[in-house]
Amino acid sequence: MSLTRSMGFSCPYCMAPNDVEIDEVNDVGQVQVLDCQVCCQPIELTAYQDADDIHIEAEREND
C-alpha cells in the first residue's frame, strides 16, 4: 500500500500542468516550495485534507 498520491496542478506563473507526489501522512498541512517543471519558477504548494479528499493549492512564492 502506497502512502503517496500523484496529483496534478497548474503552475501559477505559466499555467503549465505539473505533477507532484503527495505523502498522505506527512505532507498534509505542510507548505513545500518546488520549481515548475516547465518554467522553473518557485511555487509554494500547500496540501490540505477535506474529509477524505486531499487538495493542493499552488501559489507564486514571491506574492
Contact 28, 59 (CB under 8 A): no
Structural domain boundaries enclosing 36: 4-60
| pLDDT at residue 58, rounded to an integer | 96
Residue written as grid cell 496529483? 7
The contacts of residue 40 (CB under 8 Å, 6+ apart) are none
pLDDT tens digits, 4-60: 889 999 999 999 999 999 988 889 899 999 999 999 999 999 999 888 889 999 999
Query: What Cα–Cα distance (Å) separates residue 19 from each residue in 6, 10, 45?
Result: 7, 9, 11
pLDDT tens digits, 12-28: 999 999 999 998 888 98
Number of domains observed in the structure of the chain: 1
pTM, two decimals, is 0.82
What Rg do the C-alpha atoms of the chain give, in angstroms? 12
